[in-house]
């Protein structure tokens, strides 16, 4: 569960600066698209490592709630 927040802490400054340049709506679209894909793939995972990887990826592309 912590993988999401670890990756989020690493990439949040990057997404914040990109949101300042490109706009919040684009960041919401990016975050919601990746969030839908990772949640779907988490449901299809075969082992615990795939779940951890999907949670890490979800944290790396997160930011939907913050931008909304």
CA 61/CA 57 separation, integer angstroms: 6
- Condensed to tens digits (0 to 9), the pLDDT of residues 20-65 reads 898 888 888 888 898 899 999 999 999 999 999 999 998 888 876 6
Give me the pLDDT at residue 7, please. Answer: 87
Helix, strand, or coil (residue 58): helix
Model pTM above 0.85: no
Residue with tokens 């679209």: 29
């Amino acid at each position: 569960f912590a993988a999401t927040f670890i990756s989020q802490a690493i990439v949040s400054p990057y997404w914040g600066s990109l949101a300042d340049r490109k706009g919040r709506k684009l960041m919401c679209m990016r975050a919601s698209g990746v969030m839908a894909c990772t949640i779907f793939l988490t449901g299809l995972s075969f082992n615990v490592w795939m779940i951890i990887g999907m949670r890490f990826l979800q944290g790396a592309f997160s930011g939907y709630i913050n931008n909304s």
